[in-house]
A and B are shown apart, each in its own frame.
Chain A
Amino acid sequence: MADINLVTFCCENSAFLAAEKANMPGVKAVKVPCGGQIEHVHILKAFEEGADGVLVLACLHENCKHFWGNDRAEKKVNYVKGLLDEIGIGSDKLSYAPVASNNEIKYSELVKEMIDKLNEKGSTEGKVKK
């Protein structure tokens, strides 16, 4: 199994707290004040700097302190997925999910899910990353 680098953009009010508790190796958790503050280019830059996969994790639906930050985050993720397909990287390397602050289990599951997906792709394409 090759080393996989993941970046998770985590809302400081929810997912980031879960990320800290989960503390998974190979995963860089980036704290953001609100999911809605993430820009398309942040996600693209993560890929440019070597991420194999990116997850954007924010508050549960209707739990956003800023009312719609999480909804905006999800919309931006969907937009960037379109860009990733056009670029040729593939939209399945990016995902969005709501994660509550006390749910480090869900956090780890989402991360594992992405890693598995990437490994699958890796083995079929014959790529080995170091």
Chain B
Amino acid sequence: MIIGERKPLEEIFDRTASFKKILVLGCETCVAVCLAGGKKEAEETASSISLHRKEESKPVEIKADSIQRQCEYEFVDEIADLVKDYDVVLSMACGVGVQTLAEKLPDKFVLPGLNTQFLGFPLEQGVWMENCQACGNCVLDMTYGICPITRCSKSILNGPCGGSSEGLCEISTQDNEIACGWHLIYERLKVLGKQEYMNEVVPLKDWSSSFHGGPRKIVREDVKIVRGE
């Protein structure tokens, strides 16, 4: 899922300072799961802005609400009326949600309250880790389940490099230990009895299927709704 973190409050306070009526909108899917932008976090953020404005003696009218997903028009429609009462929507959703709101509410100011970080999963409660880069041409078959594009800091396909030491990546620090992705792949292939795959020279990657080929779009003609259907 998409993992993010609320923007530092100082940044949020600065960015919303010129608005008098703010709607803080949470999203109940990915960002709720990573405890960054769900209903609770939207309420907390609204409360924080309110208290801060009181300290600054600059009153604000502020409300927190949330919808199931900000990335689908049908859910955004649910708050289309509510939004009319506010000058700005501070979206706690990921970048996708913020932009969907902006598309659906072209006359409204929409601001991001979250820094979208990565595609990942919870390792344990409170720890989320990146493991997919959406490269557009999945190579997980090569390693039976560990992504070299994401788990290797240099996205090497013929790894590991010479900086792999004791299972750690060369950019590992004491505060942030990063496993060497290729060390993990090697160990996994060993368990599955497939380490000969490490001896094949993997050819160059076609990066045009990833963001390097421009913003991507998928069209399924077979499921599109045609007027009158």
Decide if B9 touches A86 in the complex (CB within 8 Å): yes
A113 within 8 A of B: no
A2 to chain B, nearest CB (A): 18
- Tell me if A48 and B44 are in contact (CB < 8 A): no
By the criterion CB–CB under 8 Å, are A44 and B8 in contact? no
Contact A41 B43 (CB under 8 A): yes
- Interface residues of A, CB < 8 Å — how many? 12
A89, chain B: closest CB distance, angstroms: 6
**Whole-angstrom CA separation of A55 from B55 in the bound complex:** 20
Residue pair A89, B50 in contact (C-beta under 8 Å): no
In the assembly, what is the distance between CA of A87 and CA of B13, in Å?
A: 9
A contacts with B: majority SS: helix
A40-B40, A41-B40 given as contacts; is B56 within 8 A of A88 (CB)?
Answer: yes
Partner of B55, one of A39, A40, A89: A89
Q: Is B52 a contact of A88 with CB atoms below 8 Å?
A: yes
- In the complex, the answer to whether B56 meets A48 with C-beta atoms within 8 Å is no
Given contacts A44-B48, A48-B50, A87 and B43 within 8 Å (CB-CB): no
Interface: A60 (CB within 8 A): no
- List of A residues within 8 angstroms of B40 by Cβ: 39-41
Which B residues lie within 8 Å of A40 (CB)?
40, 44
Asked, given contacts A44-B51, A48-B50, A48-B51, whether A86 binds B10 with beta carbons under 8 Å apart, the answer is yes
Q: Does A45 contact B (CB under 8 A)?
A: yes
Q: How far is the CA of A52 from the CA of B42 in the complex (A)?
A: 23
- Cα separation A48 to B8 with both chains bound (whole Å): 20
Given known A39-B40, A41-B40, contact A86–B48 (CB-CB < 8 A): yes
Hey, which chain A residues are within 8 Å of B51, CB to CB?
44, 47-48, 87, 89
Query: Nearest-CB distance from A65 to chain B (Å)?
Result: 21
Verify B47–A48 contact, CB threshold 8 A. yes
Please, which residues of chain B bring their CB within 8 A of the CB of A44? 44, 47-48, 51
